[in-house]
Structure 1
Amino acid sequence: MADHYDVVIVGAGPAGLSAALNLARARRHVLLLDGNRPRNAATMVSHGFITRDGIAPHELRRLAREELAQYPEAEFQLATVRSVSRLDGAFAVDAKGVNGSPSRSVTAASVLVATGLKETLPALPSIRAFYGLGLFSCVECDGYEHSDRPLALIGETSDLAARALLIAQWSHNLIVFTNGVGRITDSQEAVLAARGVRVERREIADVVGERGVVSAVSLADGSAIAVEGGFVRPRWDAALDYVAELQLSTDGWGLLLTDADGRTSATGVYAAGDSTAPGPQQLIVAAGAGARVAAAINRDLIGIARA
């Protein structure tokens, strides 16, 4: 069947690309679908990927797609997946083409969810202008370049204190801005204070700076606190509407629950990358997860019992 695949992979970030490459090398017939809206589109350089430290994320994706194109077993297409449903012991995948690509309706023996996360930044007027230039979300990716600078951490989520402790590994001059709604308890604030981290609970008016370089955080009362860049904690959503019919199990953050090899709660459905349980959101970690789940998918398709 021309439109039946061993595996349909949804999402061509590092997890999906890595899985596609390894599955093609296992001679699996693979279709990789991607909507061409990567979460790190605003990021100019990425770090921590061995042999590729400092590469632009879009260049890393380009190189990976170029490698994948050498394998006739793999097919890549720009398309947004609208739904995945069960069909006669397999899966039906409906996708809408983007950027001139045709829409597709295909079937697959298995499906890999590798669509990552959708970000919603705090609602500050100028924050988008600094994101990826002077403000970042991945501490492991960009902490080193901000060592020993006076930094801001802006966020409104319940894990803000934990992220502040992580950033303090790189800078002892850190202020956490909760924008009046961040949930940092008194006991957490005491722990942060012991590390030299200050908590600023007043409402934020905006981020201040020029040409992507942050110079201060302006508060609603008219005061401003000088910083030299920093981090933001967006709200992350896995955006899994297209697999809603499969009723996959998720955790308290809405991320997919999987076993160690990427198997979800639904037989034949796998997940890799940032849409799974929390961890370092690094390109190399996602790529490794993609390779691991590819091995599991191949073995499951063969019927090899789990060790």
Structure 2
Amino acid sequence: MDSQNSDVLTTDVIVIGGGPAGLSAALVLGRARRSVAVIDEGKPRNRVTHESHGFLTRDSISPNDFHQIAKEQILKYPSVSFESDVVSSVSGSDEKFSVAMESGRIIYSRKILFATGMKDVLPDIKGLTEVYGRSAFVCPFCDGWELRDRHISVIGTNKMGLHLVKMVSGWTKHITFLTNGSQFLATEDLIDLERHHVETCQDSIKQIDSIEGMVQRIIFKSDTTIDCEGIFFVPKLVQATPIPASLGCKMTDDNPFSTISTDPLGRTNVVGVYSAGDAATQSHQLIQAASSGAMAAAAIQLDLLDTEWSKAR
């Protein structure tokens, strides 16, 4: 990594985001002898979660421990550095990008990888913040085992809620579906839910009662209550940063949320710009994010080699 002064760096690749996708990419690129700057503000989407699951050899690891172990292993490769900062803007084009950070630092880079993930916008329900990540979750693949066979409330205000009910049924048969005042359920939906022994409440939720993050009951606007041992809910997801779109990266218009459009190796439509992890997929699994980061890093290395090979003619 070349340094022009204390505030300006030049590097092969800037990885924006230090989650599993960004860390995996940094590891692959470091082993490929590329200079890499990983820029991360240290606020991952899963920071409220006490444990992460489903990652082979790391099942039940805390997100903080996962990050620390990964960082220790990556720093064995001296061409990789970490910047605790927030990117404020990206300008330029392939082979000559300029990344400005909130601290005032600037890094010049040949390639950019956005591994910025998504942000959860929680439903406006009193008490949900207190249980989120402790006894209320969004993904049964990630946290269903811990709530197996318990009495679970699924909160959803559209058809995605019905999909989540079906998913949760793989871990427990004690399910109550709450629409939080939304009246979208058709007669056939209600019949189908009843056929599968799923109770339904379409009243608006007044609040969630909990003790030390563990949900106890849900109170409705009518002051009726239900006892509950866990919650799964449909979140609203938004891109963590508007910068890829501002660079001209094509975004998908898929429901239920928009992602950065890439080819199978993480290349966007903007030459020199790549994306991996949750920002570029609707499949939000820790192990998938790491895999996509590794694939994007391989694509970056191949593209860098193509450029260098051509220049040597």
Using structure 1 for the length normalisation, give the TM-score: 0.92
Show the counterpart of 1:221: 222
Show the counterpart of 2:298: 295
1:84-95 map, 5 Å: 84-87=90-93, 89-95=95-101
Question: What is the CA distance between 1:145 and its match in structure 2?
Answer: 1.2
1:167-178 map, 5 Å: 167-178=168-179
Show the counterpart of 1:272: 276
Q: State the percentage of identical aligned residues.
A: 35
Question: What is the CA distance between 1:187 and its match in structure 2?
Answer: 4.1
The partner residue of 2:65 within 59, 71, 79 is 59
Amino acid paired to 2:145? Y
Show the counterpart of 2:180: 179
- Whether 1:239 and 2:240 are equivalent positions in the alignment is yes
* Cα 1:114–1:88 shift into 2, 3 Å: closer
Show the counterpart of 1:257: 261
CA distance in 2, matches of 1:172, 1:129: 25
Range that drifts further, 185-194 or 197-206: 185-194
1:178-197 map, 5 Å: 178-181=179-182, 183-197=184-198
Secondary structure of residue in 1 paired with 2:84: strand
1:136-215 map, 5 Å: 136-181=137-182, 183-215=184-216
Deviation track 1:116-154 (CA, whole Å, cap 9, x = no partner) reads 111111111211111111111221110011111110112
Deviation track 1:79-107 (CA, whole Å, cap 9, x = no partner) reads 1111112247521111124xxxxx42111
* Cα 1:192–1:84 shift into 2, 3 Å: farther
Amino acid paired to 1:276? A
CA distance in 2, matches of 1:92, 1:161: 45
Deviation track 1:18-60 (CA, whole Å, cap 9, x = no partner) reads 1001110001110100011111111111111111111111110
Structure whose alpha-carbon radius of gyration is higher: 2
Amino acid paired to 1:259? D
Assess if the C-alpha contact under 8 Å between 1:160 and 1:182 holds in 2.
no
Amino acid paired to 1:262? G
* Cα 1:83–1:229 shift into 2, 3 Å: same
* Cα 1:60–1:157 shift into 2, 3 Å: farther
CA distance in 2, matches of 1:155, 1:284: 26
* Cα 1:185–1:113 shift into 2, 3 Å: farther
- Whether 1:248 and 2:254 are equivalent positions in the alignment is no
Q: Give unmatched runs, 5+ long, in structure 2.
A: 4-8
Secondary structure of residue in 2 paired with 1:53: coil
Q: Give unmatched runs, 5+ long, in structure 1.
A: 98-102
Assess if the C-alpha contact under 8 Å between 2:94 and 2:271 holds in 1.
no
Amino acid paired to 2:14? V
Show the counterpart of 2:48: 42
Amino acid paired to 1:123? D
Range that drifts further, 179-188 or 61-70: 179-188
* Cα 1:89–1:64 shift into 2, 3 Å: closer
CA distance in 2, matches of 1:146, 1:169: 11
